C-alpha cells in the first residue's frame, strides 16, 4: 500500500483552510481518507467565534476517527455524526443557525477487504482507478448547476443558494446535509487507486486543461501530489501574468490539497 498527501495554502500569509488525513487502523484490514475544503468566510461575519481551520480540524478529526472506528455506520451516518460532534463543540458560544457558520466541502472514502465506499459533498473531487486503468471521477455537481447569476459576490444572493433546496450543500452545523452527499460503493477488486483533490488542485483539469482526469491521476502517481500542486502554481502565475484569461475573477492561488492512495 502506498499513501501520499500534499497540501499548500493559496497565500502563505493566511492559514490553510483545507484539511487532509489518511486513517490506517492497526488491524491492517482497511482504512479511510478525508479531504475537506473550508469555505472562506465573508467579511460580514459568521456568527461564530472560531476560525475556518478550527472547524475543519474538528470535522476532519471526527471523520477520520469515526470512519475507521465505526465500520457499521454508513459514510453518510459518519458525516452526520461528525457534523453533530463538531456543532456540539461550539453550540454554547456561537450562532450555528447563521447561514455562513463555518462550513466545508467533503470527500470521504473508506476501504475494507471487500469494498471501497465513497462520499462527496460540494466541489472537491474523488478519482477511482480500476485495475485496467479506467479512471472514474466522483463529483457532486450541484454547484456547477446553480445559475451563475445566483453566485454573484454579493452575500444576499449567496445566502439564497447556500445549503438551500435548488442550490448547493456544504457540511456546516446541520447533520441532515449528509443525506445530500453523492455516495457509492465499489467492490475492492475493482479499485486499485484513489485520489482526492480540493478545487485548488482540480484546476489542473478544470481551468488549465493540462489533461483529463485519467491524465491527472497518472501525474499524481508518477510525480506525486506535491508536484501536481506545484504545476498548478506555475500555471496560475503564468495566467496572472497574461491577464488571467483562465482564472478570470477567481483568486490567483487557492488552498490546494491532493491525497493519493494505492490499495
Ligand atoms: Zn464557533
C-alpha cell at 253: 492561488
Question: In 110-241, which residue ranges form alpha helices assigned H by DSSP?
Answer: 142-145, 155-161, 199-206, 213-223, 225-241
Would 233 be classed as within a structural domain? no
**Distance from residue 84's CA to the centre of ligand 1 (Å):** 13
**Distance from residue 93's CA to the centre of ligand 1 (Å):** 6
Give this prediction's pTM: 0.93
- The tally of CA atoms less than 13 A away on the side-chain side of residue 68 is 19
Q: How far apart are CA 84 and CA 59, in angstroms?
A: 9
CATH number for the domain spanning 131: value is 3.60.40.10
pLDDT class of 187 with cuts at 50, 70, 90: very high
Q: Tell me, what's the pLDDT at 249? A: 87
Q: How far apart are CA 55 and CA 34, in angstroms?
A: 14
- Positive/negative CA dihedral, 151, 154, 155, 159: negative
Strand pairing partners for 220?
none
**Distance from residue 34's CA to the centre of ligand 1 (Å):** 22
**Distance from residue 103's CA to the centre of ligand 1 (Å):** 11
Q: How far apart are CA 77 and CA 142, in angstroms?
A: 21
Would 153 be classed as within a structural domain? yes
Would 234 be classed as within a structural domain? no
Q: How far apart are CA 38 and CA 56, in angstroms?
A: 6
Q: Tell me, what's the pLDDT at 29? A: 79
What share of the chain in percent tops pLDDT 70? 92
Would 237 be classed as within a structural domain? no
For 222-249, the pLDDT digits (tens) are: 999 999 999 999 999 999 999 999 999 8
**Distance from residue 170's CA to the centre of ligand 1 (Å):** 16
Would 138 be classed as within a structural domain? yes
Would 91 be classed as within a structural domain? yes
The residue among 98, 133, 100, 136 whose CA lies nearest residue 120 is: 136
Q: What is the number of structural domains in the chain?
A: 1
**Distance from residue 111's CA to the centre of ligand 1 (Å):** 32
Would 146 be classed as within a structural domain? yes
Give the range of the structural domain holding residue 154, as residue numbers without chain letter.
2-197+257-262
For 71-125, the pLDDT digits (tens) are: 999 999 999 999 999 999 999 999 999 989 999 999 999 999 999 999 999 989 9
Would 224 be classed as within a structural domain? no
Amino acid at each position: 500500500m502506498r499513501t501520499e498527501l500534499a497540501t499548500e495554502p493559496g497565500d502563505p500569509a493566511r492559514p490553510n483552510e483545507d484539511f487532509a488525513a489518511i486513517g490506517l487502523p492497526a488491524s491492517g484490514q482497511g482504512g479511510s481518507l478525508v479531504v475537506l475544503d473550508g469555505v472562506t468566510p465573508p467579511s460580514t461575519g459568521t456568527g461564530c467565534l472560531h476560525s475556518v481551520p478550527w472547524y475543519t480540524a474538528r470535522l476532519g478529526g471526527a471523520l477520520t476517527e469515526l470512519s475507521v472506528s465505526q465500520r457499521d455506520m454508513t459514510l453518510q451516518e459518519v458525516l452526520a455524526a461528525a457534523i453533530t460532534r463538531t456543532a456540539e463543540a461550539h453550540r454554547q458560544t456561537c450562532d450555528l443557525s447563521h447561514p455562513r457558520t463555518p462550513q466545508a466541502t467533503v470527500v470521504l472514502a473508506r476501504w475494507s477487504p471487500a469494498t471501497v465506499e465513497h462520499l462527496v459533498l460540494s466541489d472537491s473531487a474523488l478519482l477511482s482507478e480500476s485495475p485496467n486503468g479506467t479512471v472514474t471521477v466522483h463529483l457532486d455537481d450541484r454547484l456547477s448547476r446553480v445559475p451563475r447569476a445566483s453566485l454573484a459576490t454579493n452575500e444576499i444572493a449567496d445566502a439564497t443558494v447556500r445549503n438551500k433546496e435548488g442550490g448547493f450543500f456544504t457540511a456546516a452545523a446541520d447533520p441532515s446535509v449528509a443525506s445530500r452527499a453523492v455516495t457509492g460503493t465499489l467492490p475492492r477488486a475493482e479499485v486499485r487507486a484513489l485520489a482526492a483533490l480540493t478545487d485548488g488542485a482540480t484546476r489542473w483539469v478544470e481551468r488549465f486543461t493540462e489533461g483529463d482526469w485519467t491524465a491527472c491521476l497518472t501525474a499524481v502517481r508518477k510525480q506525486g501530489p506535491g508536484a501536481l500542486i506545484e504545476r498548478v502554481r506555475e500555471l496560475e502565475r503564468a495566467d496572472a501574468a497574461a491577464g488571467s484569461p483562465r482564472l478570470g475573477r477567481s483568486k490567483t492561488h487557492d488552498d490546494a490539497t491532493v491525497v493519493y492512495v494505492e490499495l
